[in-house]
Amino acid sequence: MGFSIFRAAMTILICCFLVLLFLLPSAILSRFSAQANDLIDKAENALLSGDPDAAAPYCAALFALVRERMPVLERFLNHASIDALDACAAVADCAVRANDPGAAAEALAEARSVLVRIEGIELFSWNNLL
Amino acid sequence: MIFGVLAHPLRMLTLFLRAVFLDLFVLLVLRLTGKRQVSDLQPYDLLMTLIIADLASTAIADTDIPLLYSVVPILALYLVQQLLAKLCLKSSAIRRLVCGTPQILILDGVLQEKIMQRTNYTVRDLLDSLRSKDIFDVGEVAYAILETNGTVSVLEKAAFQQPNKRELGLEPGSAALSHLLILEGKIQKSGLETLHLTKKDVETMLKKNGLALKNIFFAQMNGDGELHVQLDRKNRSRVLSFSEG
C-alpha cells in the first residue's frame, strides 16, 4: 500500500517534471535565439552600411550573450552545437575588431545558420518527430 | 593518450559522477516499475528494461550529451509502461493485446501441433521445459500451458501426481512461515516483531540451552516455536534444533 502511494506520487512528480522540461528549455532557447538573431541582424546591417565600428558592439554583445547563456543551454542542448555557435561569435568579434568586415559577415552568417539548425533540432515540430 | 586522460582528472570525475547518478536513477525507475526479477518480466517489460539500459549508457559515456537526453526518454518509457500496466488491469482485451494469452501446448495428454507451430515452440523446447520440472516422459503430462512470460506450467496426469497429506490421511501440521531470528550473532528486529518475542525471551531461550548469542551464525524459528540454530565456524558450525518451551 505504502509503495503504491509512493509510486503514484512519483508518477505525478515525473509527469510534472516532464511538462516543465517540455516548456522551460524551449522558452529559454526561443528567448536566447531571438536576442542572438537581433544582435546578428544589427551587426550585419552595420557591416552592410560599411561601418565595421558600429558593428563591433553588437558582435561583442553577441559573444558575451553566448558565453553567458552557455552553461544553461548546455543543460539541454548538445554541447557540440553550442560550441559551434560560440566559435562563430568569437570569430565575428575578432574579425570586426581587426577591421575585417568580410570575415565578420561570414562568421555572422554561420552563427545564424547554427542558430537555425539548433532551433530546427530542439524546438518541437512534426518534421522532427518523424 | 594516458597522459591526456590524466591531464583532465575533472572529466574523469564527471564521467564517474554521471555513471553514479544514472545508475541510481535507473535503479529508482526499475524499482518503481515494481518488477523484482527477470522471470517476472513480460517480453515487453524486458524490452523496456533493455532500452532503458541502452539510453543510460549513452549519456554515461558521452559527456557532450546533456543528462536530460537520457533522463527524458527513460521517464517517458516508465510512464508508458505504467499506463499500459493500468490499462491491462482495467481491460482484458488490452491485456491480451499487450501480454498475449497463455497457450495450451498439451491438452489432455495430446501435443497441440497447431498451437506449437503458431507459438514457434518446438517439441524439443517443450521436452526441455518438462525436464526442468523433473518430468522426463511426456506421457506423464495431462496439460502443459505456455504462460505469457515464456514459462511452461504443467499439470501431471492423476496417476503420476504426488499424493498429498490429506489423501494419505496424515496429520496436516502447521504451514506457518519460519522467521529469521539471529544472524551473525545479532538478533533480527523484524523476526522478533513477527513472532511477538522480546530480545530477553530469545536470550533466555538460548541460555536455557547453554548457548551464547555471539556464537550463533544463524537461527530461525518456525510457527510451532521450534528454533533451528547453526553455530559459527569457531564452534564447528554445529546445527541444533529445540522447542521454545
Domain count for chain B, please give it.
3
Q: How far apart are CA A127 and CA A119, in angstroms?
A: 12
ipTM: 0.75
The pLDDT, as a whole number, for residue B165 is 86
The pLDDT, as a whole number, for residue B125 is 92
Asked if residue B65 lies in contact with residue B46, where contact means CB atoms within 8 angstroms, the answer is: no
Regarding whether B115 and B81 lie in a shared domain, the answer is no
- Are the Cβ atoms of B79 and A11 closer than 8 angstroms? yes
Count other C-beta atoms under 10 Å from residue B245's C-beta.
7
B213 belongs to a structural domain: yes
Regarding whether B108 and B82 lie in a shared domain, the answer is no
- Cα A12 to chain centroid distance, Å, stands at 31
B196 φ/ψ sector (left φ>0, alpha ψ -120 to 50, else beta): left
Q: Inform me whether the C-beta atom of residue A78 falls under 8 Å from chain B C-beta atoms.
A: yes
Q: How far apart are CA B238 and CA B219, in angstroms?
A: 12
Q: Residue B192 sits in which domain range?
A: 179-243
Q: Inform me whether the C-beta atom of residue A7 falls under 8 Å from chain B C-beta atoms.
A: yes
Regarding whether B115 and B69 lie in a shared domain, the answer is no
Regarding whether B87 and B107 lie in a shared domain, the answer is no
Q: How many CA atoms lie within 13 A of B66 on its CB side?
A: 20
Asked if residue A25 lies in contact with residue A76, where contact means CB atoms within 8 angstroms, the answer is: yes
- Are the Cβ atoms of B34 and A7 closer than 8 angstroms? yes
Regarding whether B212 and B140 lie in a shared domain, the answer is no
- Could you tell me which residues come within 8 angstroms of residue B67 by beta carbon, excluding any fewer than 6 positions away? B18, B21, B22, B59
Regarding whether B13 and B76 lie in a shared domain, the answer is yes
The pLDDT, as a whole number, for residue B44 is 79
Q: How far apart are CA B197 and CA B191, in angstroms?
A: 8
B25 belongs to a structural domain: yes
The pLDDT, as a whole number, for residue B79 is 93
- pTM value is 0.70
Q: What would the mean pLDDT of A59-69 be, rounded to a whole number?
A: 92
Q: Inform me whether the C-beta atom of residue A30 falls under 8 Å from chain B C-beta atoms.
A: no
B51 belongs to a structural domain: yes
Does an H or E element contain A44, and which? Answer: helix A2-48
Which of A21, A75, A80 minimises the CB distance to B64?
A: A80
B128 belongs to a structural domain: yes
**CATH number for the domain that contains residue B111:** 3.30.240.20
Give the residue among A117, A112, A115 at the shortest CA–CA distance from A41.
A112
Regarding whether B132 and B196 lie in a shared domain, the answer is no
Domain's final residue, options B45, B75, B95 = B95
Q: Inform me whether the C-beta atom of residue A17 falls under 8 Å from chain B C-beta atoms.
A: yes
User: Each residue of A16-40: pLDDT tens digit?
Assistant: 999 998 888 888 998 999 999 999 9
Residue with cell 541502452: B54
Res A123 pLDDT > 80: no
B193 belongs to a structural domain: yes
Q: How far apart are CA B187 and CA A90, in angstroms?
A: 68
Q: What would the mean pLDDT of A40-48 be, rounded to a whole number?
A: 90
B82 belongs to a structural domain: yes
C-alpha distances out from residue A124 to A27, A113, A130, B70, B140, Å: 12, 18, 11, 17, 61
Sheet holding B239-243, edge to edge: B186-187, B179-183, B216-221, B226-231, B239-243
- Are the Cβ atoms of A78 and B66 closer than 8 angstroms? yes
Report the share of chain A in percent with pLDDT over 90: 43
Best of A10, A17, A82, A124 to substitute, by most chain B Cβ atoms within 10 angstroms, is: A10
The pLDDT, as a whole number, for residue B197 is 87
Name every chain A residue with its beta carbon within 8 A of the beta carbon of B32.
7, 10-11
The pLDDT, as a whole number, for residue B128 is 93
The pLDDT, as a whole number, for residue B6 is 54
- Could you tell me which residues come within 8 angstroms of residue B55 by beta carbon, excluding any fewer than 6 positions away? B70, B73, B74, B77
The pLDDT, as a whole number, for residue A58 is 92
Domain's final residue, options B50, B71, B95 = B95
Best of A1, A14, A121 to substitute, by most chain B Cβ atoms within 10 angstroms, is: A14
Domain's final residue, options B95, B126, B151 = B95
The pLDDT, as a whole number, for residue B72 is 92
Q: Does domain A25-129 have CATH number 1.20.120?
A: yes
Name every chain B residue with its beta carbon within 8 A of the beta carbon of A3.
34
As a whole number of Å, the end-to-end CA separation of chain A is 41
Each of the 245 residues of chain B gets a pLDDT tens digit; together they read 555 555 556 778 888 899 999 999 999 998 888 776 666 677 778 888 889 999 999 888 888 888 888 999 999 999 998 898 889 888 888 888 888 889 999 999 999 999 999 999 999 999 999 999 999 999 999 999 998 888 899 999 988 888 888 888 888 777 778 889 899 899 998 888 888 888 888 888 888 888 888 999 999 988 778 889 999 998 888 898 887 65
- What residues does each domain of chain A span? 25-129
Q: Which cell numbers hold the place of B15?
A: 564521467
Give the residue among A44, A78, B238 at the shortest CA–CA distance from B229.
B238
Regarding whether B218 and B193 lie in a shared domain, the answer is yes
Regarding whether B238 and B184 lie in a shared domain, the answer is yes
